[in-house]
Amino acid sequence: MTTLKLHHFDQYLQQYLDERLRVWDHQLSGVQANRRDLNLFSRFCHQTGCHDINGDAILAFIAWLKYDRDNGAAAINRKISSVRSYIKYLRFRQVDGAEDLPVEYLSRARQPYTGPYQTLSAQEVKQLLSNIDCCSILGYRDYLLYSLLYRLGLRIGEALALDLEDIDMHKQTITIHGKGRRQRMLPLISDVMEMIQSWLLMRTKVFGAQEQSALFVSKKGNRLSARTAQENLQKIVAQSGPFSIKKITPHSLRHAFATHAIEGDADLIVLKAVMGHASIHSTQIYIHPSLDTLRKAVNDHIAADILSNLIEDGVVILRMQQKWKKAA
């Protein structure tokens, strides 16, 4: 049995990525993620002296991801998916040793159930957004950006990918470019329209913005990057806290939108369409009740009245006193 050589793994990598992008028409973001994953696997093999790639090498990589890099199941599965797809490609190219790696039998890492999804409460969202400086141009830009994530349930990448032409004020709609090149059209609610119109006026004051098609621009007139949007949110979080959840990211606002919609009895199929999920299973994670909902269910249960009445009537205390006397 031959083994896949590490130098062959490295040799065909760029060709594979180019073909995914130009021939198979995969999205650039997905190809870039593949590149990071495969380069990480290659570096691991080089650093551990593993020049023959076999099942043991891949299992060692998975263990390293979990215990050394502290990756969760989702991150591990994505990286293994990248390795699996590339090795299948090497098989098709009839690269020596690739046919002896049965990667399709590799199990997926299991994601443990962590309980109800922890998200920002409605009051916390208000607390966060109200601490944004809307008096400055860039502050108002951030206010609109984070408001869209919560008001329309957008992903940060979807919001930052918005162009001016995606907004139709006449039809009162906004076109969202989602994952997998899936587009969805959402209605522009009156308050969102007003915020966008105000931002479009302010946007003209940003240097170089007139030459840019992006709705959200940086102070230099370029399309606002995800990294800058994340860093700006962290500054606002630091000024607005404390919050009930430890880590708040732009995606936390999308999660809050979905959770609050479910708690407001939103239809699951409609919510799936609004959020741009490919599968209803992605939307169903929000069916799990939040901690506040669980707390309300426990507090509102008749058991609370029964137990409190027993204590107030002295029944529990009386019986405990009688038991203590007998024991003495």
Task: Provide the CATH number for the domain around residue 76.
Answer: 1.10.150.130
Q: Assess whether 31 and 86 both reside in one domain.
A: yes
Q: How far apart are CA 142 and CA 321, in angstroms?
A: 62
**Residue 306 sits in which domain range?**
293-328
Torsion sign (Cα): 57, 58, 62, 68: positive
Query: What was the pLDDT predicted at 223?
Result: 95
286 is catalytic: yes
Q: Assess whether 186 and 217 both reside in one domain.
A: yes
Q: How far apart are CA 162 and CA 229, in angstroms?
A: 14
Within a domain: 117: no
DSSP-derived 3-state class of residue 66: helix
Q: How far apart are CA 51 and CA 5, in angstroms?
A: 6
- Of the residues 26, 84, 88, 251, only one is catalytic, namely 251
Q: Assess whether 135 and 234 both reside in one domain.
A: yes
155 is catalytic: yes
Our count of domains for the chain comes to 3
Q: Which of 105, 136, 169 represents a domain boundary (last residue)?
A: 105
Q: Assess whether 171 and 275 both reside in one domain.
A: yes
Within a domain: 200: yes
Q: Which of 105, 133, 166 represents a domain boundary (last residue)?
A: 105
The CATH number linked to 146 is 1.10.443.10
Q: Assess whether 248 and 326 both reside in one domain.
A: no
Within a domain: 110: no
179 is catalytic: yes
277 is catalytic: yes
- Of the residues 8, 179, 184, 288, only one is catalytic, namely 179
Within a domain: 155: yes
Within a domain: 217: yes
What are the helix (H) ranges across the chain?
A: 6-11, 13-22, 28-47, 55-67, 73-92, 122-129, 137-151, 156-160, 190-203, 226-240, 250-263, 268-275, 280-284, 291-300, 302-312, 315-327
Burial class (CB in 10 A: 0-12, 13-18, 19+), 128: buried
- Of the residues 20, 79, 141, 155, only one is catalytic, namely 155
84 is catalytic: no
Q: Assess whether 145 and 269 both reside in one domain.
A: yes
Query: What was the pLDDT predicted at 282?
Result: 80
Tokens linked to 69: 């890099």
- Of the residues 20, 79, 141, 254, only one is catalytic, namely 254
Query: What was the pLDDT predicted at 60?
Result: 95
Q: Assess whether 162 and 129 both reside in one domain.
A: yes
254 is catalytic: yes
Query: What was the pLDDT predicted at 118?
Result: 78
Within a domain: 112: no
Within a domain: 115: no
Q: How far apart are CA 224 and CA 214, in angstroms?
A: 8
Q: Assess whether 96 and 245 both reside in one domain.
A: no
Contacts of 294 (CB under 8 A, 6+ apart): 116
pLDDT per residue rounded down to tens, the chain (328 residues): 678 999 999 999 999 999 999 999 888 888 999 999 999 999 999 999 999 999 999 999 999 999 999 999 989 999 999 999 999 999 999 999 999 888 888 888 887 766 666 789 999 999 999 999 999 999 999 999 999 999 999 999 999 999 999 999 999 999 999 887 889 999 998 899 999 999 999 999 999 888 999 999 999 999 999 999 999 999 999 999 899 998 999 999 999 999 999 888 888 899 999 999 888 888 887 776 666 666 777 777 777 676 666 656 565 555 556 666 666 5
Q: How far apart are CA 28 and CA 311, in angstroms?
A: 65
Q: Assess whether 244 and 265 both reside in one domain.
A: yes
Q: Assess whether 318 and 241 both reside in one domain.
A: no
Within a domain: 8: yes
Query: What was the pLDDT predicted at 296?
Result: 73
Q: Buried b / exposed e across 263-272, counting CB within 10 Å, b at 16+? A: eeebeeeebb
Q: Assess whether 273 and 171 both reside in one domain.
A: yes
Q: Which of 105, 136, 170 represents a domain boundary (last residue)?
A: 105
Q: How far apart are CA 118 and CA 264, in angstroms?
A: 17
Q: At 294, give phi and psi (nearest 5°).
A: -65, -40
Q: Assess whether 301 and 280 both reside in one domain.
A: no
